[in-house]
Structure 1
Amino acid sequence: MTHPQFRVSLLALSVAMLLSAPALAQTATPANGQAAKEQDIERLEIRGIAASNKQNLNNKRFSEQVVDTITAEDLGKLPDVTITDTLQRIPGVQIRRSAGEGSTVNVRGMPQVTTLLNGEQFLSAGSLTTVQPDFTDIPSALIAGIDVLKSPMANVLSGGISGTLDLKTWRPLDLKPGSTFAFNTELTRGSLSKENDGKVSLFGGYKSDDEKFAAVMTLSYDQNNLANYLNGAILNAMEVIGENEKDKRDFNGDKDNNDTFFTQRYYGVMDRTTERDRIGANASVQYVLSDTLTLTADLFHTQMDDADRKQGLMVDSARGNNWAYSDKFIPRADGPLGGNIYTVSEALYQVRRVSAYSESLTNDRESTNVNLQLDFDNKDNFSGSVRYLRGDASRDHTENVAHAYVTSGAQHGLMRNVGNGVEPVNPRGYGPADIPVQFSRGGKYISLSYPQGFAQDIKRTNLVSTYSENNFHEEATLDVLRADGKYAFELGDIQSVSFGLRTAKRDVERDTFILVAPFKTGNLAADVMWKDSGASLGDTNGDGVANVARGDLTLGRAWYFDELPAGWVHQVNGFGPASSDSFYLINPKALDNPFESQNQLYPGNKKLSDPAKSYGVTQTDHSAYLKLDLDGEIASLPYQANIGAQYIKTDLEILQNLVGSARPCSLCTAAIKAGEELINRDDDTVLPSANLRLDLSDELILRAAYGKTMTNLDFSKLAGGVSVGRTRAGDVLAKEYGVSPDLLVAVSGRQNGNPQLEPWRSTNYNLGLEWYYDSASLVSVGLFRMNIDSFIEKGQVMKGLPDIDGVVRREVPVDTEINGKGGTVKGVEVTWQQSFDFLPGIWSGLGTTLNYTYAPSDSANKDVYGAILPIQDNSENSGNAVLWYEKDGLQLRVAANYRSDRLDSLAIPLGKGVVPIWTQSTVYVDASASYDLFDHSSVYLQVSNLTGEFENNYAQWRDHVIYQNVYEKRWTLGWRSRF
């Protein structure tokens, strides 16, 4: 059925098709019998803000489901610097930042978001174990557009609880005949890093005159040095002082030792930088084999090497015994012992340990995804496609730490003995008296002020401890074969039926390891991870007692800063905006290669696998879908709808290690692998869906949607090692099982990952009203609700574990992750987009986009006062305000993004619940300007984080900020040409 008020134009239909992937899993296609109003926009001729915004509205208006879209404003030019920065402009989308750059995405408060590439799954090296990639891996120049799908549809690959992101690359057959080239170069400088960074991207395309063959290639390279300062809590080590007998205190002076003090043990101001080198390549070839057949081949390659480096002074509260306060304690809540829970914001900190801490975390990531596709269209009533996809990806991760002492170590009893008697671990260090440090969290930045001249002598700082742990190599493969078909006919309101079959297999293997070096002290020898000059292998003098004071030898040597290898030590002048202090520190760049740096100090390092954090998972999916497309009238009002269901059968094969006793070294974190366990499980799921679009008038559209969604778990939540806690059987168990009373039997366990965890599941509802009162303007309101079955939380399961002789005799409690009680996310999205092209003169170039999302949520967790906490990382309020101008070759834009306070993580039990760590509300402002100097060239200036916004993270109380992520303003000057 057709409707006279909508005139179908071939151009509008082509534009909508070209913005979608060729597969029949496309989502932003025109509804049957509907069409866009006449457009002057062709796919690769979209240039500028106004044209891009019009195309985005066109895609949304004629979509089969609830969707928002983003279209590149030119070849290789998304509206913002990164993919994630662009996505945050969409209503209901919230992002997390890594070193100031957008990295991961939430849709309507949930991070369980599937990301597709041209309508299908792909592998991203930044997150091999999950379905959502880390977008820092993907250069924005490779992407032509993005669909944010907020309601499920039967022919769209399942995987997102709250939504699905579909990244789209350039299609060769969309080109005009002949050659098309584009070139882009940028120079970027950070306000704090003071580094000159660069980016270059190239686009080349060709289409034959007979329009039967076409090819495109995009290449991108960029290097960035990002300032990412850290103030406050350096390591995650919160403490509650006063909960046990030896720590009971009278903090408020009422002579009752029943008060509780909540604090963070490690504080500091850290110089933290992130260096990223990104390479991206995308190539696509299309060939029209006949009037009915088209062949497409795609290659999508990304590679990123990054290093997160941290250096600074860190103070240690050592169980709170060394706090001397310059003001009163702040009472917060009723304490567990009958007194109060206290915190403090200003203090004179009598520090027992001051450390010079340096750390380097590196990642080498690489992924390649290949797509081969054959599309069929008989130009009548049947069309279809067959696709095969292959993905290969790997990631190498290292962590390397150097922990030096500025204080002597005598303040807290850390001593060493290398055969010359007992002495402090850093004999030249400051002490033995505690060091007075003024601590304050009352200003804009957390600050620590040291005594004048402190830590200025390079010869007084000693590298006491160094180690490399949590290193891993992981690799993955993905194979997908799918067939889709669509048959058009008219049977009442039913216009067509879509159907498809799909099979996919994903393999992931992770090997986690530490680095150990051989040590020998006295009569003992062992491989050691923590090369610590204050640690001992044990009873080295043979008196039966391990005690340094009684003569036991410690390992390691005194590495004073003036004795370290060349290039290791440098002087840091200033720690971002929070501190202008100058200290000698180990350059974290010297730690980038753990093998090389560890061997320079302690030769003979080797890898030692950590079975508790190593695993293998194979997931095989078989799925089928059926979707009916309807077109008709309801009470004389035109409607379009689709109803259908997707069936998914998932088979999991999980290889999990059994962890035995500790290795013969108390200074190693990796225990012995005692065996393997292969777990096989399967799951069957049916996901129904329905989408309705009702045309109340030519401009007013009512949408409603219902669907069930599912997201498979991160593989790291499913797999890992199982460690067994054992004790002597005793008489009772010996009698019950007929074993010796001295047999060590399993009594408990700990499991990294739970193979029996159920996937995330939710039932979703959408209801919206959209008013397109002209071709470039929109007012819309959307209501949504997600009923989420369960959340993943810490808990216990019963599991049969082997006794020391390898026999499983009973089930014991095992600490692991479990499916806990679910929750609800519901809310409203409001959008206003307006082009002021009706204004006179220069004012006709103005336009704006405003959107707001209200999304309250609840979970099963409670805070210190017993109040229900929301879902982690969900902001109840978020919004965007964008003002743009485009006229006579000049383009200007200012965009602000707001997020209200969000729950970052859960800390330790306290009061009536658990201490929540919140991130305070933020407003990030970006701006850009460009000018067309010639017909095909433009110069532009972009400023990200214009106001220097940063993140305050507080524990329970908004004024109790425990750490800050301080990001920088970044300026980019660029040149873009196309011909």
Structure 2
Amino acid sequence: MARIRAHRNNRYATTFNKSLVALTILSALHGANAQEQDDQEKAASNEEEVVEKIEVKGIRGNLLNAQNLKRYSDTVVDAITADDIGTLPDRSVLEAIQRLPGVSIERFAGPDDPDHFSVEGSGAIIRGMTQTRSEFNGRDSFTANSGRGLSFQDVSPELMGGVDIYKNQTADMIEGGIGGTVSLRTRKPFDSEGRVIAFGGDYSYGDVAEKGSPTFSGLYSDRIDLAEKGEIGFLVNYANSQLYGESHGIQSDAYVQTYARDIAGAEAFTGADNNGTVWMPNASNLLKKFDDRKREGFASTLQWENEDETLLATMQYIRSDASLSWHEQAVKYQGGYYNLDNRRTRALEGTEFEFDDDGLFGSGTMVQGVDGWRAADGNNDRVIRSWESGGRPQFGYPYQFDSRVKQTDTLVEDLSFNLEWMATDALELEADVQYIKAKTRDDDVVLHTAAFAGQAYDVTGNTPTMTLIEPYFGYRDANPDVYAEGNYPGFTGDPAGDSNYFQDPTSYFLRSAMDHWERSEGDSFATRLDATYHLDSDGIFTSVQSGVRYAKREQTVRSTSYNWGPLGPEYSSAAPAGWLDTIPVDASNFELVDWSDFHGGGIANIPGNQTIHATEAYVRSIIAGARPYMTAGGSWEPYPDRPGVDDKYGIFTPGEVNLTTEENKAIYLRVNFEGTGDLRYSGNIGLRYVQLDRQADGAVTFPDLVPDFMPPEALQGAPLTAEIVTDWLNDQINAGNYADIEEAIEAEENRWIGDQRNYLSDAERNFGNDAEERLSAETDFDMLLPSFNLKIEVADDLITRFAFSKAVALPDMSDIRNRATLGTESIQAIR
């Protein structure tokens, strides 16, 4: 009976060129003539035969190995081997596969997050398409988040035996990759001839982060001959790595189209009708991110094969435990965008903007040019309005100084069992069972301090440059006598004046915060049965393959939105902003962040080189349950503090918990063929049928139309109107409770007057009760996926391929979750 591995390599048998076949025949004839003499010599000698073996290793050996995989594959494949990953200076699987043609990787933290760089990349793009599929050893794999596939950056490259990139489908492949399929292969004990013991380690140093970190891995593999009971092999592989990274980014705020009129420097674009436009940003932003990535991987394999090599059993367990913690410090413009005819950004008095020939902004000093409201009452000593003593017609914008901490932990465990049986010389059967369990945890909190500033921005060079400028643009320092009367914190009595504006705590206030949380898990059970029948006919068809597959995946995604809220904002009439020198928060919770080495220097220019941010420890304390100080103008409610959250984590409401269940049933037929004439060719044609049943459980969230501030009891029970409120205010003034209308409206106990929801009808408020109603939806569909692959050996060293297939990409879990949120929009009517 034929052996399993012999049949496994059967498709390679006809690929040798004619010269090799002729040489083999000649050698066989010579061996027959000399056989008798050789037997006599062997009988006369008991000396052990010594065979000298020459093995090619290193980069050339890697290329030969990968080239053979590509040459003998059933479809269009590019591959790298374990030696390739170890040889190339790459820190992740993603970085290794980007060296293959047609493969690129996402350099940002995600395709929808261009604000944050990823040190190791975040996703594979094959032939320009992100709709790729990931697998471990030919089986589906995934990370338990809002996506569908595996996060490659969470996988230790030291565990890999190789990576194959399939750029076309065959009928036996699991559906799901339009751009292609990334198949990760782990090592097995029967891949080696005997015992293998290997250890490796390296040390990575980030020159920007100025920190180093180690990586080490170990592998033990052995095979034991059990005589008539066959052979057993086992392998264990462990890898542990840590990587520190730091990335710097400068970005233009959104370019907005605006009328050129009244913009200094844009006169050439006003047009004959005075309606010409230019494109320009309001400002620019600076970002520094510090990454700490830890990754631990473990893989084990147990194999057994019977004595005549017709039965092979393989059990594998793979565990990948990864965490990524990053801390970001940023300087961000917060002045708003506005529309075509309402731009507040102007050039500093006495200067003008520069534009290119197409009307795109090139450089200039940007200020808040509108002579109007800048901050609410109570902040006049720090944010002076133009009509007040010492006021200026131009002033800085509010800028936000972020301190953000994001902690992401992922765990993937994969257990599988595979059985291959060569039932007859022609029939090969294979059964496979797999179970996956995955978990994801994500904590994301940011605290924002804020101050007022202007900036000079220049995008005409190779790298944009930004200079942050204190909001008075040198006027107070040049005219101190104007501010001799009164007390201006940070300026009055300070010999440094405004030269240390960005290092002075009196310039900053605790403005806002934002939080986001995720706790997701998923599991999958899959089984498949495949049969291959090898044909011995003289025709072109060599074998027929058929199989069935069943998979059930359940995934629960618990994920909040991003919850921004004010802490001590400058715009609230309820209280002054939360200036750092006035709020009861320990000064040790804030720190000076140095920007002098940003991009190596010369890109970010800040007087004194430092700005004030919340410390990383302070932000982490918020994650742990502490709460920041809020003024009366603050209203941030962290997600864990809401009523109605779940008992398990104490974070999520029912509308933020989505359970998706998918059942996948597939059957396929594939026919392999080859020709050995003058023009050698081989290939396959097949058809795959897939049926998918999906159930998505979620919720619909109704709008929050419940008033935050209720009117006096006498006015409750009916919707308010302007007439009712006016009559009530006049009664209060006549009773002597308030001096006038303005005092009555601004009184803290009368904040209900400005709450628009008090003016809605009972029916409207009953509809918008901020409730969540559970929903469940079911859907099913089927797909018929044909495939055709042809390889033609044009010459001994030249192969051409033609491939055709119909593929499908299933949507991410975030796109199919059953969740709807009904919102509201305020419409201001003027009568």
- Superposed CA deviations along residues 831-850 of structure 1, whole A, max 9, x for unmatched, are xxxxxxxxxxxxxxxxxxxx
Shift of 1:63: 1.4
How far, CA to CA, are the matches of 2:136 and 2:7 in structure 1?
19
Q: Deviations over 1:682-701 (max 9, x none)?
A: 11111111111223333332
Q: 1:330 to 1:638 in 2, by over 3 A?
A: same
Alpha-carbon distance in 2 for matches of 1:214, 1:199: 27
In the alignment, is residue 297 of structure 1 matched against residue 343 of structure 2? Answer: no
SS of equivalent residue, structure 2 residue 158: helix
1:75 and 1:467, CA in 2 relative to 1: closer, same or farther beyond 3 A? closer
Tell me the distance in 2 between the aligned counterparts of 1:83 and 1:92: 16
Q: What SS does structure 1 have at the residue aligned with 2:248? A: strand
Shift in Å, 1:251: 8.2
CA distance in 2, matches of 1:224, 1:665: 49
Letter in 1 for 2:355: I
**Equivalent residues in 2 for 1:93-492, closer than 5 Å:** 93-98=103-108, 99-125=118-144, 129-131=147-149, 133-177=150-194, 179-210=195-226, 212-233=231-252, 239-242=256-259, 252=269, 257-265=274-282, 267-289=284-306, 291=308, 292-318=310-336, 319=338, 320-324=343-347, 326-330=351-355, 342-350=360-368, 351-378=396-423, 380-407=425-452, 435-451=453-469, 453-491=499-537, 492=539
Structure with the bigger percentage of helix: 2
Superposed CA offset, 1:286-307 (max 9, x none):
1225643222111111111112
Give TM-score, length-normalised by structure 1: 0.60
- Equivalent position SS for 1:53: helix
Report what 2:547 is aligned to: 500
Quote the Cα distance in structure 2 between the aligned partners of 1:226 and 1:653.
41
Rounded to whole Å, the distance in 2 between the matches of 1:275 and 1:231 is 21
Displacement after TM superposition at 1:254 (Å): 6.0
Instruction: Tell me which residue corresponds to 2:14.
Output: 33
1:192 Cα deviation (Å)?
0.8
Choose 436-445 or 212-221, whichever is displaced more. 436-445
The CA distance in 1 between the partners of 2:530 and 2:119, in whole Å, is 41
CA–CA separation in structure 2 for the residues paired with 1:562 and 1:184: 53
Deviations 1:521-564 (A, max 9, x none): xxxxxxxx62422389xxxxxxxxxxx55xx4579785769943
How many angstroms apart in 2 are the aligned matches of 1:310 and 1:692?
Answer: 51
Query: What aligned pairs does 1:380-779 form with structure 2 within 5 A after superposition?
Result: 380-407=425-452, 435-451=453-469, 453-491=499-537, 492-513=539-560, 530-534=565-569, 549=573, 552=574, 563-564=585-586, 566=588, 568-574=590-596, 575-577=598-600, 578-579=603-604, 581-588=609-616, 590-592=618-620, 594-596=622-624, 598-599=626-627, 601=629, 606-608=640-642, 609=652, 614-633=657-676, 636-662=678-704, 664=706, 672-724=770-822
Q: How many residues align?
A: 639
Amino acid at match of 1:159: G
Q: Distance in 1 between matches of 2:611 and 2:628?
A: 23
Task: Tell me how far 1:312 sits from its aligned partner.
Answer: 3.2
Taking a change above 3 Å as real, the CA distance of residues 190 and 198 of structure 1, as seen in their structure-2 partners, is same
Equivalents in 2 of 1:579, 1:43: separation in Å?
A: 60
- Once residues 526 and 105 of structure 2 are traced to their aligned partners in structure 1, the CA distance between those partners, rounded to angstroms, is 29
Q: Secondary structure at the match of 2:536?
A: strand
CA contact (8 A) 1:268 1:313 kept: yes
For 2:261 and 2:430, how far apart are their aligned partners in 1? 68
Which is further off, 719-728 or 154-163?
Answer: 719-728
Cα pair 2:363 2:456 within 8 Å, conserved = no
Per the alignment, do residues 264 and 472 of structure 1 end up closer, same or farther by CA in structure 2, a change over 3 Å counting? Answer: farther
Deviation at residue 330 of structure 1 after TM alignment:
2.6
Distance 1:562-1:195 versus aligned 2 partners, 3 A rule: farther
Q: Distance in 2 between matches of 1:163 and 1:253?
A: 50
Task: Give the CA deviation at 1:108.
Answer: 0.8
Retained in 1: the 8 A contact 2:260–2:269? no
Shift of 1:613: 5.5
Runs of 5+ unmatched residues, structure 2: 25-51, 109-117, 369-395, 470-497, 631-635, 643-651, 710-754, 756-767, 827-831
- Check 1:720–1:255 CA distance in 2 against 1; reply closer, same or farther (3 A cut): farther
Q: Hey, what does 2:375 align to over in structure 1?
A: none
In 2: Cα distance, 1:44 partner to 1:109 partner = 41
* Cα shift readout 1:772-815 (whole Å, capped 9, x = no counterpart): xxxxxxxxxxxxxxxxxxxxxxxxxxxxxxxxxxxxxxxxxxxx
Q: Say which structure is richer in strand.
A: 1
**CA shift at 1:399, angstroms?**
2.0
Amino acid at match of 1:481: T
Give 2:73's aligned residue. Answer: 63
Q: Would the alpha carbon gap of residues 168 and 453 (structure 1) be closer, same or farther in structure 2, given more than 3 Å must change?
A: same
Q: Counterparts of 2:218 and 2:513 in 1: how far apart (Å)?
A: 42
Larger Rg belongs to: 2
Matched-pair contact (CA < 8 Å) for 2:323–2:408: yes
- Rounded to whole Å, the distance in 2 between the matches of 1:165 and 1:665 is 52
The one-letter code sitting in structure 2 at the alignment partner of 1:366 is L
- Distance in 2 of aligned mates of 1:713 and 1:298: 29
Once the two structures are TM-superposed, the CA of residue 122 in structure 1 deviates from its matched residue by 1.3
Q: Give the C-alpha shift of residue 140 in structure 1.
A: 0.8
Q: Is the 8 A contact 1:160 1:711 kept in 2?
A: yes
AA paired with 2:513? Y
Shift of 1:149: 1.1
Cα drift, residue 331 of structure 1: 6.2
Shift of 1:567: 5.1
Helix, strand or coil: the match of 1:676? strand
Aligned mates of 1:348, 1:231 — CA distance in 2: 16
- RMSD across aligned positions (CA): 3.9
Instruction: Report the alpha carbon displacement of residue 342 of structure 1 after superposing the two structures with TM.
Output: 4.8
How far has the Cα of 1:229 moved from its partner? Answer: 0.9
- Identity score, percent: 20
String of CA shifts for 1:663-707, please: whole Å, max 9, x gaps.
757799x99343122111111111111111223333332321211
* CA distance, structure 2, for counterparts of residue 700 and residue 663 of structure 1: 71
Aligned twin of 2:39: none
Structure 1 pair 671–579 and aligned structure 2 pair: CA distance change class (3 A): farther
Aligned to 1:54, what secondary structure does the other structure show?
A: helix
Within 2, Cα distance between the matches of 1:352 and 1:506?
A: 50
Report if aligned partners of 2:327, 2:403 keep a CA contact under 8 Å in 1: yes
Change (3 A) 1:263 1:652: farther
Q: For the structure 1 residues 568 and 288, does the alpha-carbon distance in structure 2 shift closer, same or farther, using more than 3 Å as the test? A: farther
Q: 1:796 — aligned with what?
A: none
TM-score (norm 2): 0.69
